[in-house]
Amino acid sequence: MGLPLQLPPDASSTLYVEGIPKDASEREVAHIFRPFPGYQSLRIRHKESARGDGAQRAMCFVEFDNAYQASVAKIACGDYQIDRTDPQAGTLIVHYARGRRGTGGGGGGGGHMPPLHGDEHAWDRR
């Protein structure tokens, strides 16, 4: 599948990836995205499920130089099966990361992602 000539309005230089196993390391997941041009960084944060059952979910953000490069990775990695030997393992679902309300979001600037160092809980307060 090729890229459209025009990116969608919600295109961003940051991707949000669902379906990461809770025991996956940043190094393991980075091996999936690192080959794509413009790859900058990846981080995984574990957050308690909103259901209040004590379950953890992995929140994964992947940063690229621009929205076009992120779009290439998004299309290529959508439906990527992270563990082909485990029939219970799901597939990755890749979205453009949304900006915080009131900041304009998207657009490829990447400024909507919380800092990689420092205030590690900035995303939780949105």
The number of folded domains in the chain is 1
Q: Is residue 115 part of a domain?
A: no
Q: What is the pLDDT along the chain (126 residues), one digit of tens a residue?
A: 565 568 899 999 999 999 888 888 999 999 999 999 999 999 999 887 777 777 778 889 999 999 999 999 999 998 888 877 877 777 899 999 986 443 334 444 433 333 333 333 333 433
Give the model's pLDDT for residue 48.
Answer: 79
Q: Which three-class secondary structure state does DSSP give residue 95?
A: strand
Residue 99 lies in a domain: yes
In a domain, 97, yes or no: yes
Integer Cα distance of 115 and 5 in angstroms: 31
Q: What is the pTM of this model?
A: 0.71
- Judge contact between 59 and 19, C-beta under 8 A: no
Strands in the chain per DSSP E: 14-18, 39-48, 56-64, 93-96
126 inside domain: no
CATH of the domain at 67: 3.30.70.330
